[in-house]
Amino acid sequence: MRDKVVGFLREVRGEFRRITWPSRAEIIGLTALVLLIIVALSLYVWVWDFIFQRLIAFLLGQ
């Protein structure tokens, strides 16, 4: 049992060595892209919410 655990941990260590980690510049760029997309989608949803809110208020005569 112990040999299996040790073997597994060695394989995990080997797999971690093969990972190509992103550079700091890539992380910053992708984070900025995600934040930009979140802001854009939030504005998109807000605009449609505002339009429908006004439309429903108009149709109900308020």
pLDDT, tens digit, for every residue of 14-54? 999 999 999 999 999 999 999 999 999 999 999 999 999 99
Is the pLDDT score of 61 beyond 90?
no
- pLDDT at position 11 is 94
Categorize the per-residue pLDDT at 62 as very low, low, confident or very high, splitting at 50, 70 and 90. Answer: confident
- pTM, to two decimals: 0.66
Categorize the per-residue pLDDT at 2 as very low, low, confident or very high, splitting at 50, 70 and 90. Answer: confident
Task: Give residues with Cβ within 8 angstroms of 22, minimum separation 6.
Answer: 30
- pLDDT at position 20 is 92
The CA angle 39-41-45, to the nearest 5 degrees, is 115
CA dihedral 13, 19, 24, 26 (to 10 degrees): -160
